[in-house]
Structure 1
Amino acid sequence: MTDREPTKNISGGDAGGGNEARFDPATAGTRAEAVVDRLGELYWTKTYGGRDAFECLVRTILSQNTSDTASQPAHDALVDRYSGDSADLVDALAEADQQTLAETIQSAGLYNQKSERIIAIAGVVREEFGGEAGFDEFVRDEDADIVRDRLLEMNGVGPKTADCVLLFAGGRGGVFPVDTHVHRIARRMGLAPADADHETVREYIERDVPGEKCGFGHTAMIQFGREYCKARKPACLDDPEACPLADRCDQVGVYPASGEVVDPSAAD
Structure 2
Amino acid sequence: MVEEPAENISGGPESPAQRAAFEPGAAETHAERVVDTLGELYWQKAYGGRDAFECLVRTILSQNTSDKASQPAHDSLLERYDSDDTAGDTDLVSALADAEQSKLAETISSAGLYNQKSEVIIDAATEIRAEFDTAADFDAFVKAESPETVRERLLEIRGVGPKTADCVLLFAGGRGGVFPVDTHVHRIARRMGLAAADADHEEVREALEAAVPAEKCGFGHTAMIQFGREYCSARKPACLDGPEACPLYDDCDRVGIDEVAESVVDPAETLD
Task: Give yes or no for TM over 0.5.
Answer: yes
Aligned identity (percent) is 70
- Secondary structure of residue in 2 paired with 1:267: helix
1:141 to 125, 141, 144: 144
Matches for 1:227-238 after TM superposition, within 5 Å? 227-238=230-241
CA contact (8 A) 1:174 1:211 kept: yes
Aligned-residue offset at 1:46: 0.2
- Is 1:254 the equivalent of 2:253? no
> Using the alignment, how far apart are the partners of 1:10 and 1:234 within structure 2?
21
Decide whether the 8 Å contact of 2:15 with 2:47 is kept in 1: no
**Amino acid paired to 1:98:** Q
After TM superposition, the structure 1 stretch with the greater mean CA deviation from structure 2, 36-45 or 21-30, is 21-30
**1:218 equivalenced with 2:217 (yes/no):** no
* 2:204 equivalent in structure 1: 201
Is the aligned partner of 1:52 residue 2:55? no
Q: Contact 1:11 / 1:219 at 8 angstroms: preserved in 2?
A: no
1:10 to partner: Cα distance:
2.9
Superposition TM-score, scaled by structure 1 size: 0.97
Work out whether 1:267 is the aligned partner of 2:266: no
Alignment partner, residue 29 of structure 1: 28
Distance 2:140 2:91 in 1: 15
Distance 2:47 2:9 in 1: 11
| Cα distance per residue 1:170-214 (max 9 Å; x no partner) | 000000000000000000000000010000000000000000000
Check whether the contact 1:12–1:18 (CA below 8 A) recurs between aligned residues. Answer: no
Q: CA RMSD in A?
A: 1.1
Matched, 1:244 2:229: no
User: Which runs of no fewer than 5 residues in structure 1 stay unpaired?
Assistant: none
- How far does residue 14 in structure 1 lie from its aligned partner after superposition? 5.6
Matches within 5 A, 1:1-268: 3-12=2-11, 15-85=14-84, 86-267=89-270
Kept in 2, the 8 Å contact 1:3–1:43? The answer is yes
**In 1, are the aligned partners of 2:59 and 2:164 still within 8 Å (CA)?**
yes
Write the distance in 2 (CA, Å) between the matches of 1:35 and 1:262. 22
Q: Report the count of equivalent residues.
A: 267
Residue 12 of structure 1 and its aligned partner are, at CA, apart by 3.6
**Gap regions ≥5 residues in structure 2:** none
Say which SS state the counterpart of residue 178 (structure 1) adopts.
coil
